[in-house]
């Protein structure tokens, strides 16, 4: 799966997800964010119907191995003026094979297409700061705790000739 080449990418509105895709995405989010990271929080925050869902599915099945939410400006309130990438997650079986980088490259490409000329923001777990910096993100906040996990706000500016690499 080097570079995520064996993943099939789909970016869909909530209404475009099949019940099986929605279930698989929510199950992956719960597996990683709630169980693996031991973080009890309300993952179903009411924003899923208003965002785009980026799915990285196994080439020969509907298994969701990578997932992210693309959050349009204003979805989280008037203070959110830029699109955001959130709920970035890869399945344990897909880690270490380029799926995370491929997921973020797909997410950045989709954001640049849908919201040209706007920067993109993320609330990254601090231990992933160097990974996101390698994708062009820069820190815009000091580290802070969110659900007892250290995070940092980051932003990626787009140039007119955007490429994900």
Enumerate domains of the chain plus CATH numbers.
Answer: 2-156 (3.40.630.30)
Query: What is the pLDDT at residue 55?
Result: 97
pLDDT of residue 19: 94
Write down the pLDDT at residue 163. 56
89 and 99 in contact (C-beta within 8 Å)?
Answer: no
Among 70, 50, 59, 96, residue whose Cα is nearest residue 156: 70
Q: What is the mean pLDDT of each run of 10 residues along the chain (165 residues)?
A: 69 95 92 81 85 92 92 92 95 91 96 94 95 96 90 87 53
Angle at 4 between CA 65 and CA 55, to 5 degrees: 40
pTM of the model: 0.88
Q: What pLDDT was estimated at residue 88? A: 95
């Amino acid at each position: 799966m080097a570079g995520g080449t064996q993943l099939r990418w789909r970016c869909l509105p909530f209404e475009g997800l099949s019940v099986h895709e929605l279930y698989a995405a929510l199950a992956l989010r719960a597996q990683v964010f709630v169980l693996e990271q031991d973080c009890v929080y309300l993952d179903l925050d009411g924003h899923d119907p208003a965002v785009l869902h980026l799915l990285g599915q196994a080439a020969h099945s509907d298994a969701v191995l990578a997932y992210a939410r693309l959050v349009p400006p204003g979805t989280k309130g008037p203070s959110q003026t830029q699109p955001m990438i959130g709920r970035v997650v890869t399945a344990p079986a897909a880690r270490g094979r380029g799926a995370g980088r491929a997921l973020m490259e797909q997410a950045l490409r989709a954001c640049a297409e849908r919201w040209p000329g706007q920067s993109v923001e993320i609330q990254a777990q601090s231990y992933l700061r160097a990974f996101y910096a390698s994708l062009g993100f820069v820190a815009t906040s000091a580290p802070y705790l969110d659900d007892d996990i250290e995070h940092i706000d980051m932003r990626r500016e787009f140039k007119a000739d955007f490429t994900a690499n």
